[in-house]
Chains A and B, each alone.
Chain A
Amino acid sequence: MTTVPKEDIAVSAAAVPVTRALRVKPSARHLIIAGTIVIALLVPLFAKSFVIFQLTEVMIYGLAILGLNLLTGFNGQFSLGHSAFYGIGAYAAAILTHNYDVPYLWTFPAAGGVCFVVGFLFGLPALRLQNLYLALATFALATAMPQILKFHALENWTGGVQGLVVDQPDPPSFLPVDSDQWLYYLTLIVVLVMFAAAANLIRSRTGRAIMAIRDNSIAAAAMGINTSLYKTLTFGVSALFTGVAGALGAFAVAYVSPDSFTIFFSISLLVGLVIGGVGSIPGCLVGGLFVLYLPNIANSLSTGLAGAIYGVILLIVIFVMPAGAAGFARFALARLQSLSRS
């Protein structure tokens, strides 16, 4: 399923010299990133705590979408199962803090590690399946997850149908922030680290191998890329990213329950991925914005027809920007450049 225009490879290959040139002169791209980070750092000092909470959620969804993007956008493997990885990450964090009193900072590597292993193992049978068949297998994972979490033999850990209450992390005493602000900054730090890691991964030799498999797996194999290994590893890494998002999500909502991680969550992640831009890293955050705000906007316009309005907005977005926000930005940029040249 090659969903990304071929120019993307050229773009990411061209990105290598750009970073080398950084020592001389920062590019517009770096200025935008630095500006966004500064704004993100300042926002919680002025915004209301509900807005801070919503922005925290946006970042968390963005991170979960990034995980999906690594698999679908860069490696070309379709997944409807990422709600399950998100759920596993959330439950890992909840169980560790609730049952074993593990400090919350340790839950992120733990959740990521558990999801990496689960994702890698799931990637093994997924090797044999392509496109729609893979979609069905991952779909099975997503549908099974709430049932497994409710399963009575696991109730001692998972809390069964009731779920688990998670304590929100307390801000460290030397910082003058309340717990919402602290959660925001914590999320911001984790998300920045993960986004930087993903960008570097994609720009590396490994990243090129991952994208080569997406564009033509037979040619990639002929070039000496171990396609099975890379595909399963990408599955694991993708699950890791989404799992860490899940752990952050558990702290943000302060509660985990089996029915939060159904197939519908996977579908909204997929919608976010497409609207943000398949195969674009900054696009994931745009996707996160849509996942959080689109249902709210639809609901505020009409409660009864919220679903219909949601659908209509989605259709309009797809009509206007078929390649997502990232594709639209690329198109607009190219247009601007050609205008300024003439």
Chain B
Amino acid sequence: MELLLQQVMAGLANGAIYACMALAVVMIYQAIDHLNFAQGEMAMFSTFIAWQLIAWGLPYWVAFALAVVVSFIAGVLIDRVLFRPVQNAPVLSQVVAFIALFSILNSSAGQIWDYTIKTFPTPFGHKPLFGGTLIDTHEAGMIGVTLVMLGLLYTFFRGTRLGLAMRAAAANPESARLVGIRVGWMTALGWGMAAAIGAVAGMLIAPVVFLEPNMMLGVLLYGFAGAVLGGLTSPAGAVAGGFAVGIIENLAGTFIPYFGRELKLTFALIMIVVVLMFRPSGIFGRRVVSRV
């Protein structure tokens, strides 16, 4: 029982990382209707910018805010410069454009800041929480920030006119344009927000996995898995899915004898596929019904 609790808590801590990423993934999916394969690299690049600002002597929170703003602007620019010209290209061509962006960001970060591992500061510290060894203050802070971000996003999308316009532009671009919503700018805004959320996610994750150009690779994969498991139409579902993936991963590694340790990732993924077979739109996702 003690072991189970410990593994669940450790899973929650990993899950918080995945949940952060899953939230960013779902955000951009809501805005542009595609999975952004370069999401992790964008977050990594933002984190490097924050690291550079801190290295130049700025206080943590100033660097944090600046990195978020810069990422927002960069996200808008990426949409306007790179993705607007290919918006009518076939879907798979757009996927390749994401892969290209991934490759460009990864390689330039390696060139600018090299591939050595860097430590990234945390405002929460690394003290054990509640005197136990289960979870430390940074992990708790990370879970807290993720939930706060989720709450803010929920209010934004449900409660403001701009949020409503963004949802309309993503759900039905033609009709949205007819009622006077500027669909192109809503998409750009979605990119900006996803980049900003990615920046926050990256800065929260960096103290745990350390900062280097390939830090996001594994995280993004699990983030995708979490987002799809929870349902791509539901930000809250994505966060829950991210936590679930973290817990499943840890429990499979501990409790499945013989196979578990070596095939941990395999088991986590098989479990996700099995869940999807019974709930094809994810656990919390809405079924998308289309008119024939």
Q: Which residues of A contact B (CB under 8 A)?
A: 1, 3-4, 72, 125, 128-130, 132-133, 135-137, 139-140, 143-144, 147-148, 150-152, 218, 267, 270-271, 273-275, 278, 304-312, 314-315, 318-319, 322-324
Contacts and interface: CB of A to CB of B under 8 A. Distances in A.
Interface string B73-104: 00000000010011011111101110111111
Nearest to B29: A132
Interface of B: 35, 82, 85-86, 88-93, 95-97, 99-104, 106-108, 110-111, 221, 224-225, 228, 232, 259, 262-263, 265-266, 269-270, 272-273, 276-277, 280-282, 292
B103 A324 contact: no
B277 A125 contact: yes
A312 B100 contact: yes
A175 to B, nearest CB: 41
Q: Binding site of A, secondary structure by majority: helix, strand, loop or mixed? A: helix
Pick from A275, A278, A314 the residue with the most CB of B within 10 Å.
Answer: A314
A-B pairs, top 8 by smallest CB distance, nearest first, are A307-B107, A140-B269, A322-B89, A311-B104, A311-B103, A314-B100, A311-B100, A144-B266
B111 A308 contact: yes
A143 B263 contact: no
Nearest to A150: B262
Contact of A130 (B35, B91, B280): B280
B149 to A, nearest CB: 23
Nearest to A142: B269
Nearest to A218: B292
B103 A305 contact: no
17 contacts: A125-B277, A132-B228, A133-B228, A133-B276, A137-B273, A140-B272, A144-B265, A147-B263, A148-B266, A151-B263, A152-B262, A274-B92, A274-B95, A305-B108, A307-B107, A308-B111, A314-B103
B273 A125 contact: yes
A273 B259 CA distance: 35
A322 B107 contact: no
A122 to B, nearest CB: 10
B93 A305 contact: no
B266 A308 contact: no
B103 A270 contact: no
